[in-house]
Structure formats: C-alpha cells, structure tokens
Structure 1
Amino acid sequence: MDAREAALRRAHDHAVRWLASLSDRPVPARASVDEIVRALGDALPEGPGVPADVVDLLAEACEPGLTAFPGGRFYGFVVGGTEPAALAADWLVSAWDQNCVMRAASPAYAAAETVAGAWLLDLLGLPDGSAVGFTTGATMANFTCLAAARDAVLRRTGWNVVRDGLAGGPAVRVIAGADRHMAVDLALRYLGLGGPELVRADDQGRIDPVALRQVLAAGGHRPTLVVLQAGDIHSGAFDPFPEAIRAAREADAWVHVDGAFGLWAAASPTYAHLAAGCAGADSWATDAHKTLNVPYDCGLAIVRDPGALRAAMGQRGDYLIQHEQGDPVDKVPELSRRGRAFPVWAALRSLGRSGVADLVDRLCGHARAFAAGIAAIDGATVLNDVVFTQVCAAFGDDDAQTDRVLTRLLAEGTVWISGSTWHGRRVMRVSVSNWSTTDDDVRRALGAIRRASTDA
C-alpha cells in the first residue's frame, strides 16, 4: 500500500501542475515523438523500478509532448475538456477497477448506468425506456446503433442475420446526406453494408428532404436505413428532422441520427429548436466527451427499442451471471471496458439541468463571438451560418492565404485552430467545445488570428 499511495500522490501532484499550466502554456506540444521516445527510454529495464519514480519519469518525459486539449484555447477538433466532477469521478473509475459487464459483478456500475441513462433521455428529450449504451465514442455509438438497425430491418423481411449472416440475405439499403460525417461510413464498413447512397445537401450541409423522398421512392420496397445528422462538422447545421423523418417513415425505413456534438442542443431551451423532431428517430449516437465534457473515452448509443439493441449486441456465456432485467453487456460491443457511466453521472449531477443548458449556451455564445471577431478582420470571410458551435472562415482570395494564416497561428501557439476543406475551399475551422473557455480566451484567440492574418 505504501508504494501504491506514493505513486498516486506523485500522479496527483503532476496532474495538478498540468491543469494549472493550461491557462498560460502554449497550446501545441513543444517536443517531437522522437524526443519523447528517447526520454521514455528505448530499452526495457532488466528489473523492477520504484512505482513513484516511474510516474515521475512518465510525467516529466511526456509533459513537453502534451497538447493543451483540456484548456480553453483549443479549438482544432470537436473535443471537450473535462468538467471537474467528471475528472474526479474518472480517477475513481481507475481506482475502483470494476468489471462493468453484469449487474451481479458490479451493482454500483449497473446502478450508475441506469440512473445516468435515464437522466440523459430526460435531458435530451428522447423517448422514455430507450436503451442507452456507453461506448468508446461516437464512431462506435454509430456502429452499435446501426448494427441494431441493420438486424431489425432484416428481421422484418424474415431474415435472421444473427444466425445466417449477411451472405444470401436481402441487401440493406443505407441512405445519408452528402455531408454526413466520415464516422458513419466507417461504421457501415464495419457492418458489411458498404457506402451509403447520398442525398444532396444544401450549402450548410443539411439534407434536402425533397431529394430524400425521391431517392427513397426510387429504390422500391427494400430494408432501408436513413442516417440524419445533428450538427454538421463544418457548419454546425442540423438536418430538417420533421420532414426527413416523415419521408423515411413513409418508406418504412429505420431512422438513425448521428449527433456526436449537436444532439446536446436539445438540452438548451435556447437551442432546442435545432433538434426539433429529432426524437422521432429510432436511434441516436453522441459523444459525452464532446459537449458534455467528460473524460475520454465515452460515447452514447441510444436505441428506442431495447429489444433491438439487445438482439444485436447481447452476448451469452455459461460463466456469465445474467440478470432477468438485462445487463450492461447487452448494449455495447465490448465485454472489457471502463466504467464510463460514473463520470457521466458525476457531470450530470454536478451541472444539473440548468448547468448543462448554460454549458451549451456558453459554447454557442463563444462561437458567435468568434464569428463576429473574424468577420471584422480585413480580408477574412465567415462562410457558414453560425447556428451552434462551429465557425468556418477563409482569408484572402485563395487557399494559400488561408493556409499561411493557419501555419502562423499554430507556430505562435496561443491557440490551436486547424484547417479543413469545405465546398472545395480551404478554411479555418473553429470548434468551440470546452467548458473552461472564457471570454478572455476568445479575445486572446482573436488577437492571435488578427496577428497571423496580418503577418501572412
């Protein structure tokens, strides 16, 4: 116990120093992979070391190579920080080291998953009684939901995919908007369904419901999945759910919503209109480690019909002690996994309904401030309608100018804002996702952008 306690104390001290540095340190890492490899050591030691000393070496070797993702000045990807109660709960997850497969194995985990799941459904306005599975992230949440969807639409035709696989069965048709996220395509590839049929989207990435209806009608009566999105990765736009879901229902299609960061709009009275009608779908995927700001890794797979999810994901083994009301193992692909529901419960309990709404509102407010500040810079153009947490901008008349601004911005280190290509044009993409971002952080970021655009 002495060795373990000493190692934990060292880890705590390093963690506190790291978190305290976030407000002032440059956001990009300062050391290369090769430099950190040398510091960590390339030869495996012949004998054991002192645990506390190992922790010191790890922290000191890696610190120069850490990116300040948890700080308020990282806007490069749609990644949140870690809300305080969720961070502390995640430390307990490692200390408790629970096997989260069955109710019988860890009643505490099963209880936390039950309560957090119910709170999430309430907060997001999704149907009571839906199943909530805790996955690694939105990619696996999409995979999980679409697995339930694939199996369910095949069962309607009389085909048992669990017993017979896909070969020889009816072809499953998947339809998605042209601007869907790549995670959808990846999940479909994992599921053996291939790429989706694409429906045109408008200039903000919203699926065209008239075109969707036409594509559905052209395919005849086949087992069909329709994938919609809450929050375009570039514009933040939301698909028109009422019209799109109505068209899908008329074609007897399963409707899935990829809402990795945007599904949380439903938790805010100010932004809930963006997700209006979304609850009429059959399944939803989102990330808790994005807008809710819990630690990696934590995705959420939500399926209206718990039986459909259990049929796709449930596992049976003679050695498992299975409960008549179901177990966590019935809702996600993994047997071995972290107790992800504990930090989610802690974040929700700490923030409460109004706190989550305020979090969403603040993130959106910062995005609007970014848009206004960038638009005021000579030669800069904001390209999207800023409806949620995403801002896309370009500088000058050619892609090279935008790339020069991005290069200078990263070299300075005040912020991390990355580039992308949208509608064939290079853009600066600002993603506001961190609970700790302040008005001052945004002002500092805008100052850095102005300097980079002037120097470029």
Structure 2
Amino acid sequence: MEDHRALFLRAAEHAAAYRRSLPGRPVAVPIDQAAVVDAFAGPLPRTPSPPEQVLAELLAAAEPGLVAGAGPRYFGFVVGGALPAATAAEIVATGWDQLAFNTVTSPAAMAAETVAGGWLKELLGIPGSASVGFVTGCQAANTVGLAAARHKVLADVGWDVERRGLPGAPAIRVIAGAERHGTVDRSLRLLGLGTDAVQPVAADPNGAIDLGSLRAVLRSGARGPTIVCLQAGNVNTGACDPLREACDLVHRHGGWVHVDGAFGLWAAASPRTRHLVDGLAAADSWACDGHKWLNLPYDSAFAFCARPDTHAAAMSYTAAYLVGSGGEPVGADLTAESSRRARGFAVWAGLRELGRDGVAALVDRCCALARRFADGLTAAGFEVANDVVLNQVLVGFGDDARTDRVVAAVQADGTCWAGGTTWRGRRLMRISVSNATTTEADVDRSIAAIVRLAA
C-alpha cells in the first residue's frame, strides 16, 4: 500500500484551517451557482490523476461555494457544527473504511453503536431495553419508527405486512398534529400508507398538539389499527406536545405512539428543559437527530423502538451469504441500509467529549441565547411571534413582503444566516440557535446586523 500520509495530512490541515476561519468569514454570500458548477466541470479525464492534484483541484473548486454552516452565526435549519472530537473521529472512521453491517464486518463499529446507543437512551430518558438504529437523519428515523408501527398495528389484527404487503390489509389510520414536520408525510408515502391516511389534529397557540382535539379524533370513526405521531420540538416554534397525557390517551385506544423529536428530544438532557418532554418514555418509538443539537457530523440520527423484536421484524433481512446475520439485531438489522458507513464512532466521540453535563450545558446555553435574540429584537421594535420555549425564535418585520426583504438582506449580508418560514399564514424570520460555539457576542453582532438591515 502507498504511504498517503502527506495527502491525508494536507486534507486534515485544510479542514482545521477552515474550521479556524469560521468565526471571521461571511456565513454565506450571494453566489453564481453556474460558476461553482463550472469550477467542478470539464470532461472526465481519460487517464488517472495524482491524488495530491485531485485534492488541490477539489479545494479550489469548492471554496467559493462553501456555506459556513458549522460556524457560530449560522441560525438556519436547526443544525449545529460538528464537535472537535466527533470531527476527528469522522476523519479516522473514513480512513478505517469500515462496513458497519454487523459484528462480522466490523466488531468495532458495532461496539461503538452499542455503547453510544446506551448513552443516548440514558441522556434522553428512553427505556434502556429499547433498540437503536443509527440512521442518516430524521427522515430515515421517522421512516424506521413508522415501519415498526405499521408492523405492530397490523400484526395485532392478524396481518403480516412484511409477507403480504398492504393490498388487502386492514386500513391504518394515522393521527398527527396539524403542524407536524414534512418528513412524517414523506415517510408515510414511502411506506405505502399515503398522506390521505392522516387525520390532522389542531395545534395550540404555540404549535403543540391540542389534547382536546386529539381526544376527539381518537374517538371518531371505527377503532382499528392506529398510529399517532407526536412531536418534541415544533420546527417553527420549538413547542413540544404534551407527551405523557397524549401517550396515555393513545394507548387507551390501542394505538402506537411515534415521537418525532428531531431536535426537541434533546430537551430531556437538561434538568431545566426536561419538563417540556415529560412522559416521553411512554411512547413506542422515537426519532432524533445527532447532527442538529448534539453537534455531530452529518449524517447522524437515531431510530429508537421500545420493542426491539418489532423493530427488527420491520427492518431486518437475512441471506445465505451474509455471515453473521440472523442473530441478535444490530447495525443493518435496525435501519434501511445494508452497506452502512460507521457513523457510531463520531457519536461515541461526541458524547465522550461533552459528557452528561456538557450536553445539558449545550442545551441550556442555546435556549438562553435564543431568548437573548428574542429580547434584543423585541427591544429594537420587532415582533417575536412565538413563545420561546427552546431554541427557536420567529420574528416579524411588519408585513410579509417586508419580512421577506429583511430575510433576503440578512442572507446576502453574510454577518449571520437565518431562514424564512410561513407560520399561521404569516411570513416570518426563523432563527434556530443550535451551534455549540455560538456566544453572546455572536448573538449581539447578529442582532445589530438584522436591525441595521431592517432599517
């Protein structure tokens, strides 16, 4: 094997230099996408190229099109920047090039997932007996959780969906909040249930599911296979559904509860916010991202299931050539992937770096900084449209057109980045504070830029 030390060191040095530059570089600036494509373009070479040359060409082509999403003033899409230890783990995991299918293809990868999965359940208050699938994001985690739900509610009425499929199966009703995330609907499409299966439940003034409306929907219609999707962390407001009461209601009607907790489930990791997700342990499945509030590299997320046998029945498969398959479910048995990268190493490293207290401090700090945003923009005369319960802030700048102009100006300015959203029929700026490196100074600098640009 060739010695790639110089090549790998150059890549690592560039990555480190880029991360050092984040506090000072524009978060994003208007870019000509066609020019970025042109930088990568050209005919496919006929002959091989030296790896050092390829790396240099990649760095030069990509630089103008990079967004400083890992930096301290990126407030879009509820994503954080990858922690140092997790980033380093990702680098060595790429070098190890492990196939995280099962304990035969990589004992180390499966060990990391086993231990990190236990730590995650401990932090989030999920029963220790639950299974954990390490997936790409909450789209995948919601799909896995709802696949397990589909298996169980149909098995309860004598239908084997894995063998017989959905044609002729008893109809499944899916009950979900009116302000659910769009990934829930896409999961239902992927699973063959379709979005017409959804019976929406009204939300309260801050976006959490309304218990009275949930009770009425559960009582309506004939009893049968029922899946209820709850939410920890409304994508606009951060509001969390009343999980304890809702789980009790659903279970009394014989339904399965799936919790989409992409970022809001991390409220459980802090004593200050844990009350917002009280009762989450009573659910049947949970979805949660790691590359959001936990500040792990993309793509990292977790599909938890209170019934490991149901989880495996919905997702696993066996084949004669797959040595080691068919035993205790691990790795690919709990996800929709077979050739999986070993994402558990970065999860393990990130949790080791932060520890229990560090995760709680990260959650608390982001919530405090979100409130600082809200207070500063309110003092400047702008409207904060939501009750800031976690790390989400919605801001209006008058009419919809003006709000969109302010959002566009902020994104073009580069001091910080925040997105636009529509909530309750209004256009608003959505600020998500999720990065472990964001400081009060970053928030104050961002507020000043927003006020300047709004004027």
Q: TM-score, normalised by structure 1?
A: 0.97
> What is aligned with 2:174?
174
Q: CA deviation at 1:205?
A: 1.0
SS of the residue corresponding to residue 250 of structure 2 reads helix
Residue identity opposite 2:402 in structure 1: Q
> What is aligned with 1:20?
20
Q: Which moved more, 1:17-26 or 1:305-314?
A: 17-26
Q: Equivalents in 2 of 1:290, 1:322: separation in Å?
A: 33
- CA deviation string 1:17-69 (max 9, x = no partner): 21111111111145422112222232111211110111111011111110000
Q: Equivalents in 2 of 1:92, 1:180: separation in Å?
A: 37
Q: Equivalents in 2 of 1:187, 1:63: separation in Å?
A: 35
SS of the residue corresponding to residue 289 of structure 1 reads coil
> What is aligned with 2:238?
236
Q: Equivalents in 2 of 1:28, 1:2: separation in Å?
A: 38
Q: Equivalents in 2 of 1:97, 1:224: separation in Å?
A: 42
- CA deviation string 1:151-184 (max 9, x = no partner): 1100000001111000001011100010000010
- Please say if 1:131 is aligned against 2:131: yes
> What is aligned with 1:439?
440
> What is aligned with 1:58?
58
> What is aligned with 2:200?
198
Q: Which moved more, 1:211-220 or 1:152-161?
A: 211-220
> What is aligned with 2:158?
158
- CA deviation string 1:100-149 (max 9, x = no partner): 11112211011111100111111111111100000110000000000000
Residue identity opposite 1:434 in structure 2: N
1:5-44 map, 5 Å: 5-29=5-29, 31-44=31-44
Q: Equivalents in 2 of 1:45, 1:20: separation in Å?
A: 34
> What is aligned with 1:93?
93
Residue identity opposite 1:374 in structure 2: L
Q: Which moved more, 1:401-410 or 1:3-12?
A: 3-12
Q: Equivalents in 2 of 1:220, 1:197: separation in Å?
A: 13
Q: Equivalents in 1 of 2:330, 2:118: separation in Å?
A: 15
- CA deviation string 1:302-326 (max 9, x = no partner): 0000000000001101011226333
Residue identity opposite 2:379 in structure 1: A
- Please say if 1:453 is aligned against 2:439: no
Residue identity opposite 2:117 in structure 1: G
- CA deviation string 1:246-277 (max 9, x = no partner): 11011100000000000000000111000101
Q: Equivalents in 1 of 2:289, 2:384: separation in Å?
A: 27
Q: Equivalents in 2 of 1:147, 1:38: separation in Å?
A: 42
> What is aligned with 2:276?
274
Contact 2:374-2:393 at 8 Å conserved across structures: yes
SS of the residue corresponding to residue 262 of structure 2 reads coil
- Please say if 1:258 is aligned against 2:269: no
Structure 1 residues 96 and 29: alpha-carbon distance in aligned structure 2, compared to 1, 3 A threshold: farther
> What is aligned with 1:339?
342
Q: Equivalents in 1 of 2:386, 2:343: separation in Å?
A: 34
Q: CA deviation at 1:418?
A: 1.1
Q: Equivalents in 2 of 1:178, 1:326: separation in Å?
A: 35
- CA deviation string 1:268-306 (max 9, x = no partner): 011100010111100000100001111000110000000
Q: Equivalents in 2 of 1:416, 1:3: separation in Å?
A: 41
Contact 1:98-1:338 at 8 Å conserved across structures: yes
Contact 1:131-1:309 at 8 Å conserved across structures: yes
Match for residue 373 of structure 1 among 372, 376, 379 = 376
> What is aligned with 1:350?
353
Q: Equivalents in 2 of 1:18, 1:108: separation in Å?
A: 30
- Please say if 1:327 is aligned against 2:330: yes
SS of the residue corresponding to residue 187 of structure 1 reads helix
Identity of aligned residues (%): 51
RMSD of aligned C-alpha atoms? 1.1
Q: Equivalents in 2 of 1:69, 1:335: separation in Å?
A: 29
Q: CA deviation at 1:12?
A: 1.5
Q: Equivalents in 1 of 2:143, 2:61: separation in Å?
A: 36
* Structure 1 gap ranges (5+): none
Residue identity opposite 2:70 in structure 1: P
Match for residue 221 of structure 1 among 220, 223, 227 = 223
Q: Equivalents in 2 of 1:54, 1:7: separation in Å?
A: 10
Q: Which moved more, 1:399-408 or 1:425-434?
A: 399-408
Q: CA deviation at 1:2?
A: 5.0
- CA deviation string 1:399-430 (max 9, x = no partner): 11111211221121101111111100010000
Contact 2:149-2:256 at 8 Å conserved across structures: yes
- Please say if 1:75 is aligned against 2:75: yes
SS of the residue corresponding to residue 252 of structure 1 reads coil
Q: CA deviation at 1:450?
A: 0.7
Contact 1:371-1:391 at 8 Å conserved across structures: yes
Q: Equivalents in 2 of 1:225, 1:119: separation in Å?
A: 28
Residue identity opposite 2:287 in structure 1: A
Q: CA deviation at 1:222?
A: 0.5
Residue identity opposite 1:186 in structure 2: R
Residue identity opposite 1:137 in structure 2: G
Q: TM-score, normalised by structure 2?
A: 0.97
Q: Equivalents in 2 of 1:161, 1:325: separation in Å?
A: 22
Contact 2:27-2:416 at 8 Å conserved across structures: yes
Contact 2:72-2:439 at 8 Å conserved across structures: yes
Residue identity opposite 2:369 in structure 1: H
Q: Equivalents in 2 of 1:143, 1:325: separation in Å?
A: 22
Q: CA deviation at 1:453?
A: 1.2
Residue identity opposite 2:47 in structure 1: G
Q: Equivalents in 2 of 1:219, 1:142: separation in Å?
A: 26
Q: Equivalents in 2 of 1:410, 1:147: separation in Å?
A: 38
- CA deviation string 1:359-391 (max 9, x = no partner): 11111111011100110113x100000000100
SS of the residue corresponding to residue 207 of structure 1 reads coil
> What is aligned with 1:307?
309
* Structure 2 gap ranges (5+): none
Contact 1:4-1:51 at 8 Å conserved across structures: no
Residue identity opposite 2:172 in structure 1: V
Q: Equivalents in 2 of 1:27, 1:6: separation in Å?
A: 30
